[in-house]
Chains A and B, each alone.
Chain A
Amino acid sequence: MESRKLNSVDEFNEYRAKILNSHKGDYPVIYVCGGTPCLAKGSRAVAEAFRKEIEAQGLECRVELSLKITGCQGFCSKGPVVSFGDDIVYMEVKPKHVPEIIEKTVKRGEIIEALGYKDPATGKKAATFDGIPFYSHQKQLILGDLRKLDPFEIDDYIARGGYASLDRAFSMDPDAIIDTIEASGLRGRGGGGFPAGRKWRSCRNIETETRYVLCNGDEGDPGAFMDRSIMEGNPHAVIEGMIIGARAVGAHKGYAYIRDEYPLAVEAMKKAVVDATALGILGKNILGSGFDFEVKITRGGGAFVCGESSALMRSVEGKVGEPRAKYIRSVEKGLYEQPTVLNNVETWANVPLIINNGVQWYRQTGTDGSPGTKVFSLAGKVENTGLVEVPMGITIRELVEDIGGGVLGGKRFKAVQTGGPSGGCIPQSKMDLPIDFDSLTDAGSMMGSGGIIVMDEETCMVDVAKYFISFLVEESCGKCAPCRDGLPRMLRILTDITEGKGKEGDIEVLEELCDVLSYGALCGLGTSAPNPVLSTIRYFRDEYEAHIRDKRCPGHVCKSFITYRIDADACTGCTLCAKQCPQKCISGEKKQTHVIDQDKCIKCNVCREVCKFDAVRVE
């Protein structure tokens, strides 16, 4: 649509009516996923093939057709994902499938089961959202729109009811907006779970001229990509939330802080701000309401600590991203020493839903203490990895088994890691733990921003702790002594344990150091840094002891404790392992059992990966 500044809610409604009219009824739409994982797997080529095929068939095509490149459709491990209409969804679509999809599905409405999801247990195929457990067990309040929206078209968002909440928000008293958010029980999705409404009220209650609202898009946990997907797939929902928040607390300027490693998210958010400003949805006198609010996009350099609120604010100011040592809350003195509300991407995206549908509707989902849904990125050793949204209170078992399809390759489940480097590992015995802010914290982990990493029996928990601590050693800003000097010492002890140099008392020393960090460190990064160590000691102490006392790694991961051996009964003498071995230390004649020279073996696992007969054993 031609964009012009809309000067009132009436003009906005007229504009929306025009978009809807121009859509000529409900002709079918092919949605090609344009999330980063699907793009990496070639979804752009698939979209191009659709475009060409539609053009080539021209008038012969009996139905009018629209093609959209959308945000993430969730099922990243099975991408590129293509969906059609409301129900049909195909996985791992390649350009060669396009003519068949046009012919059968688009023209004749047939479902091509072969392109659907194959249940690993039953082998049955399903190609509808309802028929695929990965989708049918989810509740998609936030993500539902992602798979149908073209994130670069504001009209698309408006057509689906976007920015409609502004009418209501502008007619409400700011305090009433805060009352609503408070009553909804919305808690910060960035990790801490702080009640959003209470944060807003504290900020509003400070007497001042200038206030700010910020959006934290500095998602830094390894394996987490929820916020990226929301910014890439539905940027306007984030901005709509920020407008409502700004109106509620009385801010006229906002910043969205997005890490620069998310180029698509930066691009989508920038375009969204430009488009919304052109329509008068951002800027001076928004939709004739008399309320001014502008949003600026700030790109972060990728320091993990910049996700911490005071470090993020310093970074927005153009200073070194370090947390502030002062005991002042940012709702009192935040960005540029002014009262500031900082919420993360997903929290902001929840706000329009609450304003549009009301508190009662919102509270129907989730638990009393943690209402609503939570978006998780499901990763690690699980059949179905991707972006999922579930009601709060769902158990870890449901998430891993029903939606995730169980552990990859039918291996035994060992633990899930939640909350990233600040979170912890939750063992098999806690599989029926409900996922909400408080239960996870009680279990020694935390919700974090929503990264869920599934670990199987071949995971070494000491190695996991070591991985996260080495990540934190790199990411510590170095401002306070416990974090800067304590983490490298923790890492050394963990490394020693995994290299067979662990000694009695190491576990206790680790626990001591953990205490020094959790009580003594300056910011949230330091005080939560012990969680990966403490939670693995708490639930997997036996693995630590096996490393230290028996010089054994139960997960067969730590190289000091394992040897590779070729099983004579299984080896066919295909020579593949010998060819691939970088050390050239596997010998054997064709069709004869091969042997590994233990003196030269560097335990790189290549032989085991290439062997087609599962003949390479780790002991």
Chain B
Amino acid sequence: MENIKIVIDGKEVEAIRDQSVLDVARENGIYIPALCYHPEVEASGGSCRVCLVEAHQNGRMRLVTSCNYPAREGLEIKTDTDLVRRIRKGVVELLLSRVPDSDVIRELATRDGIEDTRFFKDEGDNYRYKCIACSLCTLVCEEVVGVSAISMLNRGYEKEPGTPYHKASQACIGCGACAYACPTQAIAMTDEGALRKIWGREFSMVSCSVCGKPYIPEAQVDWIVKTTGKERSFFDKCPDHR
């Protein structure tokens, strides 16, 4: 790990070589809006294009996504120029057209001074609820959970996350990591009593022997026991009572 210095909005800040510029900005309290990036998911980022910034390097300027742009010595980042604002506004307006019901996107839009989109909205057969097809859910499922129960289906305008053929997936362990990671809360997951519903499947939950609260799907316990060799009895109690 090589410590370097980069400049963000005129301020010199510490960074590690090849660290995500967005991470560096966040560590230094500099706000850049971002949706599809998660620091714990290696393959994430670069999809929603909301975190665009100007990167000045080797006498050249380009607009880059800060989430996956590597910090290098001599790099200067500008997060709030006319160009950045103009292009991000365009991106956000397009996202708003896609998911007009998303409060997260609406908030971003308001922040950029967009009241409503000028373009047609995805409604009727194209209604997409709140999903911006950023693929973070599928990356979490593959990279972090390791089950790959969901993946991106179709392509282009029709692209969306889902289980194969939209059928209940036997690979899914009901862990809900996808729903927790989703930047726009677009994945429906309901916990009712000891039953969890997600991706068209029902999962019975293990309850804590101390407080009695259902807290983890049985299928998830099976998966952890199988892949890590952890004792099954470990899951008798919820994290609060271990």
Contacts and interface: CB of A to CB of B under 8 A. Distances in A.
Nearest to A514: B90
A487 B69 CA distance: 25
Interface stretch (B41-49, B188-196, B222-230): B41-49
Contact of A326 (B46, B48, B156): B46
Given A473-B157, A474-B156, A520-B49, A484 B87 contact: no
A325 B47 contact: yes
Contacts, number: 96
Interface string A183-216: 0000000000000000000000000000000000
A515 interface: yes
Contacts of A326: 46, 68
Interface string B128-167: 0000110100000000000000001011111100000000
Interface stretch (B7-15, B94-102, B213-221): B94-102
Nearest to B69: A327
A516 B120 contact: no
A410 interface: no
Nearest to B45: A325
A19 interface: no
Interface string A462-490: 00000000000111111111101111110
A484 B157 contact: yes
A569 interface: no
Interface in A286-339: 303, 320, 325-327
Contacts of A478: 133, 152, 154-159
Interface in B16-58: 45-50, 52
A509 interface: yes
B65 interface: yes
Interface string A496-531: 000000000000010011011001111000000000
A488 B64 contact: no
Nearest to B67: A325
Given A325-B46, A489-B119, A489-B120, A482 B156 contact: no
Contacts of A327: 64, 68-70
Interface residues of B, number: 36
A223 B69 CA distance: 37
A515 B90 contact: yes
Contact of B119 (A492, A515, A522): A492
B49 A484 contact: no
A476 B155 contact: yes
Given A326-B68, A479-B135, A522-B47, A515 B86 contact: yes
A339 B22 CA distance: 27
Contacts of A325: 45-47, 65, 68
B181 to A, nearest CB: 17
A521 to B, nearest CB: 7
B91 interface: yes
Contacts of A484: 133, 156-157, 159
A479 B157 contact: no
A515 to B, nearest CB: 7
Interface string B112-123: 000000111000
Contacts of B154: 478
B179 interface: no
Given A327-B69, A481-B47, A516 B90 contact: yes
A480 B47 contact: yes
Interface in B55-98: 63-65, 68-70, 83, 86-88, 90-91, 94-95, 97-98
B90 A512 contact: yes
A478 B45 CA distance: 14
A531 B187 CA distance: 36
A482 B49 contact: yes
Contacts of B48: 480-481
Contact of A477 (B46, B68, B95, B156): B156
Given A476-B156, A481-B48, A519-B83, A489 B69 contact: no
21 contacts: A325-B47, A473-B157, A474-B156, A478-B154, A478-B155, A478-B156, A479-B159, A481-B50, A481-B132, A482-B94, A484-B133, A485-B94, A487-B157, A488-B157, A513-B90, A515-B86, A519-B52, A519-B63, A519-B87, A520-B63, A521-B49
Interface of A: 303, 320, 325-327, 473-482, 484-489, 492, 509, 512-513, 515-516, 519-522
Given A478-B154, A492-B119, 6 more contacts: A320-B152, A327-B68, A480-B49, A481-B50, A515-B86, A515-B90
